[in-house]
Homo-oligomer: A and B are copies of this chain.
């Protein structure tokens, strides 16, 4: 089941691989996308690249570029697709009050033993929860953590993955669940409360390990959900 609701989505970090890839997919699904960057010109340059890739796609939404703050001002939905380094300062600087904010930020660390989750607030935190604390008048959900940037940009069709969405406000989760249909062809899965972002974010380290071992772009699917269910 997919949804016909169309959103205006500001992608913060819209020039990075995850933000650009998700912005491309959202526009392909008919949503309006504003790719934000520290420099508006950089956002506009990547928007032109995305428009070029979309050329000819029926029903695609408009894609433009802007500074991060301007992108937020133009949209009701904000996707945070930034590196965890500098995340807190950037989030605190944005005019997020009243917005539905989707965090796909993965706080990961890398050493010679590979990728692993960064410890946030002694294990009792996540990037998504930090964003909610820094923007208390926004509604933050977590989603799209485990979707491969390479797949988003290079895979010709929908991705054989599921998008799990966590959050404390059902209506905000539904926005991310609907947007997921642009990526996977199915609405996302309600994975529970926002604090479970602690589990979704570092799970990406497991997928990175699998990718390295098997030379693949792995993804996550949830089995056992009936096709007749609301999912």
Which A residues lie at the B interface, using CB under 8 A? 113-117, 119-120, 122-124, 148, 151, 160-161, 164, 166, 189-193, 195-196, 198-200, 202-203, 205-207, 209-210, 213-226, 229-231
Contacting pair B214 A229 (CB below 8 A) = yes
> Could you write out 14 A-B pairs with CB less than 8 Å apart?
A113-B195, A122-B122, A123-B123, A160-B223, A164-B206, A189-B210, A196-B206, A199-B199, A207-B222, A210-B225, A215-B229, A216-B229, A220-B222, A221-B223
Contacting pair A195 B164 (CB below 8 A) = no
Instruction: Chain B residues near A210: list those with CB within 8 A.
Output: 164, 189-192, 222, 225
Instruction: Chain B residues near A196: list those with CB within 8 A.
Output: 116, 205-206, 209
A124 to B207, CA, bound (A): 19
Looking at the complex, which one of B116, B122, B214, B229 makes contact with A231 (CB distance below 8 Å)? B214
Instruction: Chain B residues near A117: list those with CB within 8 A.
Output: 198-199
Instruction: Chain B residues near A224: list those with CB within 8 A.
Output: 148, 151, 160, 216-219
A17 to B201, CA, bound (A): 29
Which of A190, A209, A219 has the largest count of B CB atoms less than 10 A from its CB? A209
User: What is the total number of copies of this protein in its complex?
Assistant: 2
Contacting pair A206 B200 (CB below 8 A) = yes
For the residues of A in contact with B, the DSSP-based class is: mixed
Contact A114 B209, CB 8 Å, known A202-B199, A223-B220, A223-B221:
no
Which of A114, A200, A210 has the largest count of B CB atoms less than 10 A from its CB? A210
